[in-house]
Amino acid sequence: MKTADIAQRYLDYFEKNDHTIVPSASLVSDDPSILFTIAGMVPFIPYLTGVVPAPYPRAADVQKCIRTNDIEEVGKTARHGTFFQMMGNWSFGDYFKEGAISYAWELLTSAESDGGLGFAERDLWVTVYEDDDEAVALWQKVAGLPASRIQRLGREDNYWTTGQPGPAGPCSEIYFDRGPKYGRDGGPVADDNRFTEIWNLVFMQYAINNVRSKVDFDVVGELPKKNIDTGMGLERVAFIKQGVENMYEIDQVRPVLDRAVELSGRKYGAVHEDDVRFRVIADHVRSSLMLLSDGVTPSNEGRGYILRRLMRRSVRSMRLLGVEGATFPELFTASRDAMKDAYPIVSDDWSRIAPYAYAEEETFLRTLASGSTILDLAVSQTKDAGGSAITGSEAFLLHDTYGFPVDLTLEVAEEAGLTVDRAAFDALMQEQRQRAKDDAKSRRRAIADHTVYRDFRALGETVFTGYTDLQTPSTILGVLVDGVSVDRAREGQIAEVILAETALYAESGGQVADKGVIVGPGYELDVIDVQKPVPGLVSHTVEVKIGEVAAGQPATSVVDAANRRAARQAHSATHLVHAALRDTLGRSATQSGSLNRAGYLRFDFSWGQALSPETRSEIEEIANNAVRDNLEVTTRVLSLDEAKEAGAMALFGEKYGQTVRMVDIGGPWSRELCAGTHVGSSSEVGLINLVGESSVGASNRRVEALVGLDAFRELAAERAIVSQLTGSLKTPRDQLPAKIAELAASLKAAEKKIAAFESRALADRLPQLVDSAVAAGSVRVVAQSLGTAATADDVRSLALQVRDRLGSEPAVAALGALVGDRVAVVVATNDAARARGIKAGALAKAAAAALGGGGGGRDDVAQGGGTDAAALPGALDAIVAAVRTTAA
């Protein structure tokens, strides 16, 4: 049974049983405390907790998930994967335990010919919470399970909570017995490898408080509405139904593994370590493909960092399998073909996805090459110093700064006859992880408990009137201070205010929140921010300027009209620039992020190379021509399907309901789904001035523009600069570029002459420097300051000449000079000196230590430096002393 067929059977069954079929939410979570949708229940949390009223009494879905907590276990077990799909059925105050158990048992055990999954009843076991006698009785009544196949477990295993005060309840899990080949008998409590969990039923029936840990909390009563939250792992069911050993061998994953086998020339199933690597590759490539399809792109932070880590682990695993060249064009194509039936977007959007994957692999392969050079130097220095291990700090630097995997460091070190101080490396890694955890905890603490908004959201959605009105009378529904609902906020306090209606725009879709005030009888509030903490509810962060504000009072939201006008101009200009980019570069140049505020726009788009000045000018001209043409701007509210049929662009990173707002500028020329505020016609935008274009990652570019009066002021400032230059240089405007180029060439030629003069002046000092040699034991040493030098290369050249003039007896030349704002010291040794154990690298380090800097190099010539010019005489004396000590 194909994986996609299992998912469809699941949805068909629950649709037949009156469940609303809900499409999968994005892998990018709406919850600000988590990066990804890590479980099937995440999109339903607002309904399960009662913060947002559920739009349907019962639902079913197949939800895409990403979880990286157990990334090190991927490939080692049958069930750990980063990307997985969770089939779920949900009841929001409708059916409860008996219904959930009945549905699960019927679907699992019904014959395949009847639309079921065809599991044999004898192979199924269940676990329940230790005190849940009701669940035990229902399993016996509904499924006819004997008591011997129902096992009781404690809170650690069979009780669900959010980790915060609120709803909670016992769980019941269904397990499949894979047979004696996979472990000992005795049910899930005896062996969870042989007995594989396939379905978890959560009976959300209690309210808890005083949460001290996952297993330590107080149950304070039953919920007025009891919910059902279930999840069945699609990959786990698939590998059982397909008769394979693990999730990496199912039809949606195995093609990537097989392609990796072909590319490496190694056999799957022969060597355990190789098998783990093949599975890691298959899992991580599929996970990366799905993240890219949901708009995540590689970067050094947040979601992008997780994606980059997955992709680089894949490259590393291929390297450890003996493949050092690029493999993503083969591996990602195999994953696309395996996943496109279930997720057509991976094929439809391939022209956007593939360049990110290929560019990331190319970048990491270059990183591996540069990291190898740095590692080779560390190996050489360790051996020269007589050491046997590369330090943990060096290994951590390679890993953390250059992205060089530690296992490759171990491999290279072993080939060189060295070890790595792994304990020190692991300690540094643990420190980094702890900092990350502390940072994550601080971020979670900064986020208010969303259940505080439940009562306000239960009153209905906040009505936004700002599309047509800049002032709206309303009523204050609630006041919060420090995330806690209070009766009032007083003058000087920062608070959150919830209104029934508001004219103030809440930040979303790249458009920043409105500025403005909220006023009422005896009080005035300065609006600092406007956000949507939960879907459908708008919260205003305010500073109480005058009086005090309390729930129930009348309030009028007042928008700063000038700021809103400029923000509308910027947001409409973003749409115009997007359309102009697609006109110029093609349909693959799609938006991947934006920011719009009064007078300014920032627009990120998928593209693999810098835009030429001519292309930038063309984009700017197309956008401004659209302004000139006074195109009509219209908005329509319609269903998501209708909007897509009309050709509206749905942008990555945006979440859309079943009803959407479509914004047209000039009809279909610019047609996007957008909830932002816009001008009435394109001429109101004024002027668009592209002021910057840059890279924001592999295959991603950013343009920045000023809009309206801000664009005019920028052009006026440039005009003033041009006027000053024409006056100062006495050159007509159209001849300025040639005149400036001429002056730059003259300046460069003069600098070359000066440098040549300084070099000759230094060379003229050669006899004097040779004559200054002193005896340091049996070694002749020249240790002199040159004053200033044009470049460090000049100092190096002269040091080598001095060394050669000193003859074949043991000799060292050490010269220092101020080069710009830094001191450079170059040390050169001849063969006879090196035979006495005198090495230039060690002497350069000694000098650099005195200068407050660093240094090193080869035994025959090395360089050090620092910023403390006054310490140069002492640094040179340190070299002489070191030579004397070594030569003694």
Residue 113: give its domain's CATH number: 3.30.930.10
Same domain for 569 and 548: no
Same domain for 595 and 548: no
Give the pLDDT score at 440.
Answer: 44
| Strand 166-177 with 124-129, pairing | antiparallel
Q: CB neighbours of 725 closer than 8 A, spacing ≥ 6?
A: 731, 736, 740
**Is 590 a domain residue?**
yes
Give the pLDDT score at 388.
Answer: 85
- Identify the domain containing residue 498 by its residue range: 450-559
- Whole-angstrom distance, CA of residue 87 vs CA of residue 305: 27
Average pLDDT of span 112-120: 95
Same domain for 64 and 185: yes
Q: Which amino acid is at 674?
A: C
Q: Which amino acid is at 150?
A: I
- Whole-angstrom distance, CA of residue 199 vs CA of residue 211: 26
Average pLDDT of span 880-886: 88
Give the pLDDT score at 652.
Answer: 47
Q: CB neighbours of 276 closer than 8 A, spacing ≥ 6?
A: 75, 76
Give the pLDDT score at 193.
Answer: 85
Known binding residues are: 571, 575, 674, 678
**Is 748 a domain residue?**
no
pLDDT tens for each residue of 684-714: 999 999 999 998 766 778 999 999 999 999 9
Q: Over 90: is that where the pLDDT of 501 sits?
A: yes
Same domain for 821 and 707: no
Q: CB neighbours of 56 closer than 8 A, spacing ≥ 6?
A: 20, 92
Give the pLDDT score at 343.
Answer: 94
Average pLDDT of span 306-318: 90
Domain boundary among 658, 692, 716: 716
Q: Over 90: is that where the pLDDT of 142 sits?
A: yes
Same domain for 487 and 517: yes
Which CATH number does the domain housing residue 462 bear? 2.40.30.130
- Whole-angstrom distance, CA of residue 821 vs CA of residue 321: 48
| Strand 488-489 with 811-819, pairing | unpaired
Give the pLDDT score at 655.
Answer: 57
Candidates 555, 558, 561; CA nearest to 500 is 555
Mean pLDDT score of the chain: 89
The pair of three-digit structure tokens given for residue 50, joined into one six-digit string: 């009662």
**Is 759 a domain residue?**
no
The pair of three-digit structure tokens given for residue 478, joined into one six-digit string: 């609630």
Which CATH number does the domain housing residue 592 bear? 3.30.980.10
Same domain for 606 and 537: no
Domain boundary among 500, 534, 559: 559
- 261-279 burial, b if ≥16 CB within 10 A, otherwise e? bebbebebeeeeebbbbbb
Rounded alpha-carbon distances, angstroms, from residue 103 to 15, 17, 142, 229, 463: 12, 9, 10, 13, 39
Helix (H, G, I), strand (E, B) or coil at 657: coil
Report the share of the chain in percent with pLDDT over 70.
95
Give the pLDDT score at 377.
Answer: 79
- Whole-angstrom distance, CA of residue 560 vs CA of residue 593: 26
Q: Which amino acid is at 378?
A: A
- Whole-angstrom distance, CA of residue 792 vs CA of residue 784: 15
Rg (CA), the chain: 34
Candidates 336, 351, 236; CA nearest to 286 is 336
**What is 775-798 written as a DSSP string?**
EETTEEEEEEEEEE-S-HHHHHHH
Q: Over 50: is that where the pLDDT of 443 sits?
A: no
Count up the domains in the chain and report the number: 4
The residue whose two tokens read 């420097």 is 769
- Whole-angstrom distance, CA of residue 699 vs CA of residue 465: 39
**Please, what sign has the CA dihedral across residues 676, 682, 688, 692?**
positive
Give the pLDDT score at 658.
Answer: 72
Domain boundary among 559, 576, 597: 559
Q: Over 90: is that where the pLDDT of 755 sits?
A: no
Report the share of the chain in percent with pLDDT over 90.
60
Which CATH number does the domain housing residue 812 bear? 3.10.310.40
Give the pLDDT score at 433.
Answer: 67
Q: Over 90: is that where the pLDDT of 121 sits?
A: yes
**Is 361 a domain residue?**
no
Same domain for 640 and 529: no
Give every strand in the sheet of 633-639, ordered side by side.
Answer: 633-639, 659-665, 670-673
Same domain for 464 and 586: no
pLDDT band for position 653 (cuts 50, 70, 90): very low
The pair of three-digit structure tokens given for residue 820, joined into one six-digit string: 């710009």
Q: Over 50: is that where the pLDDT of 548 sits?
A: yes
pLDDT band for position 437 (cuts 50, 70, 90): low
- Whole-angstrom distance, CA of residue 150 vs CA of residue 148: 6
The residues facing 671 across adjacent strands are 664
Determine which of 11-20, 296-305, 331-340, 668-677 has the lowest per-residue pLDDT on average.
296-305
| Strand 811-819 with 779-788, pairing | parallel
Give the pLDDT score at 85.
Answer: 95
Q: Over 50: is that where the pLDDT of 177 sits?
A: yes
pLDDT tens for each residue of 210-249: 988 888 999 998 988 899 999 999 999 999 999 998 899 9
Average pLDDT of span 811-820: 92
- Whole-angstrom distance, CA of residue 425 vs CA of residue 52: 47
Same domain for 195 and 122: yes
pTM (2 d.p.): 0.68
Q: Over 50: is that where the pLDDT of 444 sits?
A: no
- Whole-angstrom distance, CA of residue 346 vs CA of residue 830: 63
Q: Over 90: is that where the pLDDT of 58 sits?
A: yes
**Is 345 a domain residue?**
no
**Is 747 a domain residue?**
no
**Is 635 a domain residue?**
yes
Within 10 angstroms of residue 712's Cβ, the number of other Cβ atoms is 14
Same domain for 203 and 115: yes
- Whole-angstrom distance, CA of residue 782 vs CA of residue 880: 8
Give every strand in the sheet of 688-695, ordered side by side.
Answer: 591-597, 600-606, 700-707, 688-695
**Is 50 a domain residue?**
yes
Same domain for 58 and 171: yes
The pair of three-digit structure tokens given for residue 780, joined into one six-digit string: 């002749």
pLDDT tens for each residue of 368-417: 776 777 777 788 888 887 888 888 888 887 777 666 777 678 867 876 78
Q: Over 70: is that where the pLDDT of 562 sits?
A: yes
Known binding residues for Zn(2+) are: 571, 575, 674, 678
Q: Over 70: is that where the pLDDT of 446 sits?
A: no
pLDDT tens for each residue of 777-815: 889 999 999 888 878 888 898 999 999 999 899 999 999
Same domain for 686 and 610: yes
